[in-house]
Amino acid sequence: MTDYRCVAIRTEDAERFRRAEKDDFGHRIQRLTLDRAYPCRHCLREASAKNGMLLLSYQTPKPQSVYGQPTAVFLCAHACERFEQPNTIADIVNNRLVSFRAFRGDGMMIYDANRIGEGGNYDPIVLMMFGRDDVAYINAHTAKAGCMLCHIERA
């Protein structure tokens, strides 16, 4: 069995965004307080915007290739614990229609390894993808909007 981990936004970046007025692309960080939940990319949980949520553009560290792109992400406006559970698919991934995108170590996408998941329990999909030697990491995106949920790497 391949060990893996869902990788959240770094705590240093989350703290920096919470203090900032603009994201790394010069866009004004939106501050939401609606009575609904959004997927935080730091704790990787659904979080109520009643407690404050941020919406901003974020560039994932990988891939650093033609497939790397800024993506819209939500982030708790207050401090939250970073997701650090090995061999566990994060809540915000399990409760969505998800596009799992496989990449080689050089950042190039492996089209025939990509998968769409629906209905949760995505552990078998991730393990099957990592069963391929050429898959270095996976990025999980919302299948409808295309927003990055989290980076998944071998542990």
The pLDDT assigned to 33 comes to 94
Across residues 13-37, what is the average pLDDT? 96
**Quick one: pLDDT at residue 119?**
87
Instruction: Supply the DSSP symbol for 45.
Output: S
Q: Which residue has the tokens 């009575």?
A: 35
- CA 111 vs. chain centroid, Å, equals 19
Q: What is the pTM of this model?
A: 0.94
Contacts of 124 (CB under 8 A, 6+ apart): none
Q: 3-state class of 12 per DSSP?
A: helix
> For 48-101, how does the pLDDT look when each residue is reduced to its tens digit (9 = 90+)?
999 899 999 999 889 999 999 899 999 999 999 999 999 999 999 999 999 999
